[in-house]
Amino acid sequence: MKRNSRLSAVLHALMHMAEREMPMTSDDLALCLDTNAVVVRRTMAGLRDAGIVQSGRGHGGGWHFAKPLSDISLLDIYNALGEPIVFQIGPATEMPGCVVEKSVNRVIGDALKDAEAILMARFAGTTLADLAADFRVAAKHCRADTG
């Protein structure tokens, strides 16, 4: 089963933007993500609509952050992407009148709601600044290891 990696890809693109500290074109971001610039523009448009990024035209134009990284949470990004389904598992619907199915669905449903609440709280408490700091530490270690 294919996983939805859209959030991960968007965060990847945003970290490249954070490192560049200057506008990046859709073509630049597409190269970073090994995808098509049209896909980048479509995705970034949703982030623009959510007030996370802005775009400029002409020489020196491109995508840039609309506010500081410390003011953008992973939950903001998740919401801007249309709140993709978190878990691929869910309740059965083949026998809605069956007491066993109802019990199983209730238990699974409660567990999924709890797990999603924990994940959303973690997303809300993690900013792009946190992610950038983590990336910078990992990059230093990588450079130190390769000497």
More confident residue, 90 or 120: 120
Q: What is the mean pLDDT of the chain?
A: 89
**Is 107's pLDDT higher than 60?**
yes
pLDDT, tens only, 109-131: 999 999 999 999 999 999 999 99
pLDDT, tens only, 24-71: 999 999 998 889 999 999 999 999 999 999 998 877 789 999 999 999
**Is 147's pLDDT higher than 60?**
no
Longest dimension (CA), the chain: 65
Q: What domains can be seen in the chain, in order of their start residue?
A: 6-141 (1.10.10.10)
Long-range contacts of 54-60 (CB under 8 A, 24+ apart): 55/23, 56/23, 60/23
